[in-house]
Structure 1
Amino acid sequence: MSRNAKSSSSKPKVSRRVYSEEFKLDAVRLVTQEGYSLAAAARSLGVHVSQIRKWKEKFMPQDKESPSLTEDEKAELKRLRAENRRLKMERDIFKKSHRFFCEGKSMRFAFIEENEQSFEVTAMCQTFQVSRSGYYAWKQREPGVRQLRQQKLTEEIRAIHQENQQVYGSPRIHQELQERGRKCSVNTVAKWMREAEIRAKTTKKFCVTTDSNHHLRVVGNLLNQQFDSPTQANQVWVSDITYLWTDEGWLYLAAVLDLYTRKVVGWSMSKTMTADLVGDALKMAIGRQHPGEGLLIHSDRGNQYASDAYQRLLREHGIKCSMSRKGNCWDNAPMESFFATLKKELVYQERYTTRQRARLSVFVYIETFYNRKRKHSALGYKSPEQFEQAT
C-alpha cells in the first residue's frame, strides 16, 4: 500500500502512550523556561493539559514564598523591566531591518507596516529616523488591485514562513497556500518571496562518524536500503546518533524514526555517547507506539547498537535487528536525512550556551514542529502525525 493511500483495514485499538521522564521534564521546561502557558504547551505536544500540570507539580514543586519587596524596590524593578523591553525591542528591530537603512523611505515605510504587530510604530520610526506623520501619510495612499493582492499574499507567505521556523521554501509554502484556498502558481510564490527577501534557512556540510572498531557481535543488513518497503506504521524503524556543539561541550542525540510515517517516535539526549543513550531512545519509541510482532529496527554497527544491553532490549520486545555495512552511510539514508534537516533548519541557526538550552531547542523542534507541523514531500505534503492519523 502506498503512503498516499489510506488503509482499508480497520484501525487497531489505540494503546495508551507512555512518556519517558526525559520527555516529561522537557515538556515542563516549555512552561517554566520558554513562557508557554499550560494550555499552549499541551496543544503543541498533543497531550492533555492535565498531564502537563501533573508533570509540572512532580518536577517543579512550589517554592516557599519569597519575602515581599518594598515599594521602592517594586518601582525600580518595574523601571528596569521597561528599560529591558525597550532595549530588546531596539535590538530586534535593528537585527530584522538593518538592510533597509540604505533604502528609500518607501521601503522603510513598507517594513514598518509589515511589522506593526511585532514592534511599536514609534520605536521603528525612531530607528529609521522617519516621522510618524510621514509614515501614516504614506499608509493612506490607495494601492492598486494587483498591488493589494500581492501585498496580502506576501503577508500570508511571510506568516507561513515564520510559523514554520523559516525553513519552508516556495514549494512547501505554495502547498500551504493551496490548502488555504489561495490561487497562485509556485513560480509566483517564488518570485514574491525573492522580492520580499523571504528565504528558507541554508545548510552546511553534514558528516557522520560511527565507532565500529570493536569486537562486539554485529548482524547483517536485513533492510538492504528498501526504504519504501513498509506498508504501515511500526513495521520498520531506523536509528542513529548525532552530536550538537554547545559552549559546555558536546550534546549527543539518539533518535528513532518510523520509515513509513517519517515520524521521530523516540529520542534521547546526553553529554555521553553510551548504550544507555540509544536504549533510552528505543524505550521512548516502544512506550509511545506499542509496536506489535515483527518490527525491524535498522542502525549502524557502532558499539552502542552492538552492546549487550541494547541487544537484550531488542530480544525482550521481539524486535529484529538490522545493521548497515561497514562505512556505508547510504544504508541508513533516511536517518541521515533527518539529522541533516535538523541541523540545517535549527542547529546551524543557533549558538547554544548550555546543553540544557540545546536539548530544549531540539525537543521543541521535534515534538512541536517536525512531527506535528512540518510538511514532508514524501508524505504528500502532510506532517508525520497528520499522515499517521490518516492511514
Structure 2
Amino acid sequence: MPKPYPEEFRRDVVAVARKGNAPIKQVAKDFGISEACLHNWLKQADIEDGNKPGLTREESAELRELRKRTKQLEQENEILRRAAAFFARGAAPKMRFPLVLELSADGFAVAVICRVLGFTPQAFCKWKKMPVSQRDWDDAHLIDAAREIHTDDPAFGYRFIADELGDRGIRAGENRVQRLCSQQRIWSVFARKRGLSRRAGPPVHDDLVVRDFTAAAPNLLWLTDITEHRTSEGKLYLCAIKDCFSNRIVGYSIDERMTAALAVAALRNAVAIRSPVGTVVHSDRGSQFRSRRFVHALSANGLRGSMGRVGACGDNAAMESFFALLQRNVLDRRHWATREELRLAIVIWIERTYHRRRRQRRLGRLTPIEFETINQPALAA
C-alpha cells in the first residue's frame, strides 16, 4: 500500500497547479506524482473551498468525532448507573477504586472510568500497585518537619534546617535536605535570586556525526535546521531535513512561527514518505530540537538524535550549505510581498529545481532524484 503524502505537501502542489503557470501534466511530473492523483487532490480542494458538492475532510472528521462521542457518552452513562447502584448499597466513597476493578473486568476502559468518577488513572494505579516506597514516606515527614522549622525562623536556609532536624532526632544528610527544600521552594528570605541566562541549553543527544556528512545508503543520516526570511507580512520560517546519501530534502515544513511544532511537522513529513528505522537525525542545539515534543517524535519513530556544539557552524555545515544555496537562488532574488508568495517559491525551487534539475558534482553530475533512482537497484542487490 503506498504511503500517503503529507498534508502540507498536498496543499503546496494544489496551490502550484491552481497558479496556472504550467499544465497539470507538467506540474504532476515536476512533483513526482501521477496526473490522476493531482486531479483527485484538486477535486478535493474544490470541495473544501465550497466550489463543488461533497463531504469535506472537516465534515468527515466531525462525523467520526460525533460517532466517537456518542459511544463515549453511552459508556459514561452506563458507568454512572453502575456507580450509583454500587454506592446505593452503602459503600464508602473510599471504595471507588474496587469499583474500577469491577467495571474494568466488564470491558470498560480504566481511563474512562477514572474520568467519570472524578480521579486520575495514576491514582488508581498507585492504589493498585502500592508504589509508595519507604523513602518517599520518610521524605514526606522530613518535608513537614522542614516546613515547621522554616516557619519558625524563615531567615535561615537548608543548612540551618539540616542542623535542626538532627536535634529533633531526624537523620538526614545535608544534600538530601537541600534537594527537598529546593523542590518545595523552602528558601531563606535573604537568598539571592538567580539571574536569567540566555546561554544555549545542554544537548539532549551526543554528536554521532562529528562532521562526517557521508552515508552509504538512504535513510542512514539526516540533517535538519531552520532558516528564516522576511516578507512584507513578517518572517517566514523553513525547517528542512536532508538525506546525506543523495542530498535530497526528504521532509520540510514552512510556517510563520519558529516553534517546536515546526520541527516536529518536518520530521513527520519525512517519516511519512521515507519510513526509516534507526536513522540518525543531526541538528544544532536550538530549543526546537531540544524540546520534549521533538525528542519524543524521534523516539516514537525509531530515530536517533545527534547534536553539534554551540556556535560551531561546521558541525552542521552540509545543512548550512543547502540554506546558503536557497538564499542565493530564491530568498535574496527579490523582495517578497506575502508569505504565501515566498512559500510557493521555496516549494517550487526545492521540488522542481533542486530535486529534479540541478546536477551536483558529488553525485556524479546527477540530480538527487536521479542518484537515488540509479542506486536503488544496486543497494537492493
TM-score range, shorter chain: 0.5 to 0.7
SS for the counterpart of 2:356 is coil
In the comparison of the two structures, how many residue pairs are matched? 230
* Aligned twin of 2:355: 371
Distance 1:212 1:262 in 2: 33
Residue 213 to residue 60, structure 1, CA distance change in 2 (3 Å): farther
SS for the counterpart of 1:272 is coil
* Aligned twin of 1:38: 24
Task: Say yes or no: does 1:274 pair with 2:259.
Answer: yes
Task: Say yes or no: does 1:223 pair with 2:212.
Answer: no
Shift of 1:54: 1.2
Structure 1's consecutive aligned runs of 4 or more residues displaced over 6 angstroms after TM superposition are: none
Shift of 1:18: 2.7
Letter in 1 for 2:26: A
With the length of structure 1 as denominator, give the TM-score of the two structures: 0.56
Letter in 2 for 1:346: V
Distance 2:285 2:13 in 1: 32
* Aligned twin of 1:137: none
Task: Say yes or no: does 1:242 pair with 2:230.
Answer: no
Distance 1:245 1:336 in 2: 18
With the length of structure 2 as denominator, give the TM-score of the two structures: 0.58
Distance 1:233 1:331 in 2: 21
Distance 1:272 1:325 in 2: 25
Shift of 1:50: 1.3
Shift of 1:59: 1.9
* Aligned twin of 1:185: none
SS for the counterpart of 1:60 is helix
CA contact (8 A) 2:205 2:307 kept: yes
Distance 1:266 1:277 in 2: 11
From 289, 304, 314, give the equivalent of 1:305.
289
Distance 1:310 1:300 in 2: 13
SS for the counterpart of 1:238 is strand
Letter in 2 for 1:323: M
CA contact (8 A) 1:246 1:353 kept: yes
SS for the counterpart of 1:225 is coil
* Aligned twin of 1:70: none
Task: Say yes or no: does 1:20 pair with 2:6.
Answer: yes
From 315, 325, 339, give the equivalent of 2:309.
325
CA contact (8 A) 2:219 2:274 kept: yes
CA contact (8 A) 2:228 2:235 kept: yes
Alpha-carbon deviations, 1:123-159, whole Å to 9, x = none? Answer: xxxxxxxxxxxxxxxxxxxxxxxxxxxxxxxxxxxxx
Structure (1/2) with the larger helix percentage: 2
CA contact (8 A) 1:375 1:382 kept: yes
Task: Say yes or no: does 1:284 pair with 2:265.
Answer: no
Alpha-carbon deviations, 1:350-386, whole Å to 9, x = none? Answer: 2211000000000000011101121011101100010
Residue 46 to residue 212, structure 1, CA distance change in 2 (3 Å): farther
* Aligned twin of 2:344: 360
Residue 212 to residue 263, structure 1, CA distance change in 2 (3 Å): farther
Distance 2:11 2:301 in 1: 26
Task: Say yes or no: does 1:263 pair with 2:248.
Answer: yes
Letter in 2 for 1:252: Y
Letter in 2 for 1:374: R
CA contact (8 A) 1:212 1:302 kept: no
* Aligned twin of 1:50: 36
SS for the counterpart of 2:332 is helix
Moved more, 317-326 or 30-39: 30-39
Alpha-carbon deviations, 1:303-336, whole Å to 9, x = none? Answer: 0000000000000011010001011010000100
CA contact (8 A) 2:241 2:250 kept: yes
CA contact (8 A) 1:216 1:307 kept: no
SS for the counterpart of 1:346 is helix
Distance 1:212 1:312 in 2: 25
Bigger Rg over Cα? 2
1:62-141 alignment, distance < 5 Å: none
* Aligned twin of 2:85: none
Task: Say yes or no: does 1:383 pair with 2:357.
Answer: no
Shift of 1:291: 1.2
Shift of 1:281: 0.7
From 327, 331, 337, give the equivalent of 2:321.
337
The answer for unaligned runs of 5 or more in structure 1 is 1-14, 66-210
Shift of 1:17: 3.5
Distance 1:275 1:212 in 2: 18
Q: Which has the higher contact order (CA 8 A, sep 6+)?
A: 1
